[in-house]
Amino acid sequence: MTQRAVTAEEVARLAGVSQSAVSRTYTPGASVAAKTREKVLAAARQLGYRPNAMARTLITNRSRIIGVVMAYLDNMLYPDVLEKLAAGLQERGYQMLLFTGFKDRHSDPVFEQIMQYRVDGLLLASTTLSSDLSDECTAAGVPVVMFNRTTEHPLCCSVTSDNHSGGRQIAEFLFAGGHRRFAYIAGAAISSTNRDREAGFRQGLRRHGISEIDYGEGNLDTADTRTAARTLFASEDPPDAVFAGSDHMALAVMEIARHEFGLRVPDDVSIVGYDDVGAADWPSFSLTSYTLPLAPMVDAAVELMMEQIESSSVLSHHRVVPGRLAVRGSARLPGGPVHDRDGTLIWAPARKG
């Protein structure tokens, strides 16, 4: 601020009331006479007064700011997450302090900064970030919600999709499609999300007696994924079905398959992703993918956050939101309906009409 802003004191003077009256006018539950309130508002408008949120924070011990940590945004999913999250928080009167772009740098100084701003809560949406961060938060009494990842740590909340089930459903679907040689392209090796998707995929295949699959490290990175795909397709016995742990990677694999190896998708190789980002539905890709239920996930995250803030306590709830397989053209279709091991229907051929 270049010039000192208008204070409640000045407004009070102009309105001919006490400074407390001004404060009360801007405090939702406070008792102010309608007449007083009007005088205050008139004076405030005239002077261009705005309550100072910082000063309020100092005394209420609530900043109404949520720290959001997203190491990098190139997962095509995150812009969407950010938008929905911002909307949800704003609706409840909260602001968003964003920490991102520290791919290379260390995250510790970042964390220090966050804490100095006395955020009311922290949302961690980086699959790769060390969980020390969340420990330090709970130690400081700041509620944490992990988004699209989880942890074994006892005291923190998380919201994820049903990664394990999703991976398994994809395995069932691909197996039913007649494939026999599978590959998995892994995301960040240390992330629970990647671990669960892979574990589900392997479990689904094992049910059909397949325990050996190809493996590539995509690392959520375009270049790494391309390298992994090249190795895969150049092998003597290349896979005829590839499941990539994220759409981002799946699309990179598809590009390599088509443009560097001249493979037809899905005739020569089926490719399936996870997340169902916008581009998955573009005609050029028509990527079969497992839909990450973004809206309900964000809702759940905001809810968990509010619950903790309002109760002034750090909870430990883990919410899993179910997604569903979005079948498109990048994977061969099975001849008939596909069921999960518990009997639920994963996919069925469209009825003829």
**Residue placing its CB nearer to a copy of itself in the complex, 196 or 276:** 276
CA distances from 180 to 82, 287, 336 (A): 39, 20, 17
Answer for which of 30, 33, 42, 140 binds a copy of itself (CB under 8 A) is 140
Residue 90: name its binding partner from DNA, a copy of itself, none (Cβ under 5 to 8 Å by kind). a copy of itself
Q: Tell me which residues in 12-31 interact with a copy of itself (CB under 8 A).
A: none
Q: Is 293 helix (H, G, I), strand (E, B) or coil?
A: coil
Does residue 312 interact with DNA by CB under 7 A? no
Answer for which of 3, 48, 59, 212 binds DNA (CB under 7 A) is 59
Identity (one letter) of the amino acid at 123? L
- Identify which of 177, 221, 181 has the alpha carbon closest to the alpha carbon of residue 329: 177
Q: Phi and psi dihedrals of 239, rounded to 5?
A: -70, 150
Residue 291: name its binding partner from a copy of itself, DNA, none (Cβ under 5 to 8 Å by kind). none
CB of 247 to a copy of itself, least distance (A): 13
Does residue 60 interact with DNA by CB under 7 A? yes
- Identify which of 277, 267, 238, 268 has the alpha carbon closest to the alpha carbon of residue 252: 277
* CA separation for the pair 6, 9 (Å, rounded): 8
* CA separation for the pair 229, 242 (Å, rounded): 9
Contact 217, 228 (CB under 8 A): yes
**Residue placing its CB nearer to a copy of itself in the complex, 159 or 314:** 314
Does residue 117 interact with a copy of itself by CB under 8 A? yes
Does residue 33 interact with DNA by CB under 7 A? yes
Query: How many C-beta atoms surround the C-beta of residue 153 within 10 A?
Result: 15
Q: Point out which span in 164-172, 192-200, 254-262, 264-272 binds a copy of itself (CB under 8 A).
A: 254-262
Q: Tell me which residues in 34-93 interact with a copy of itself (CB under 8 A).
A: 48, 50-55, 57-58, 61-63, 65, 68, 72-74, 78-80, 82-87, 90
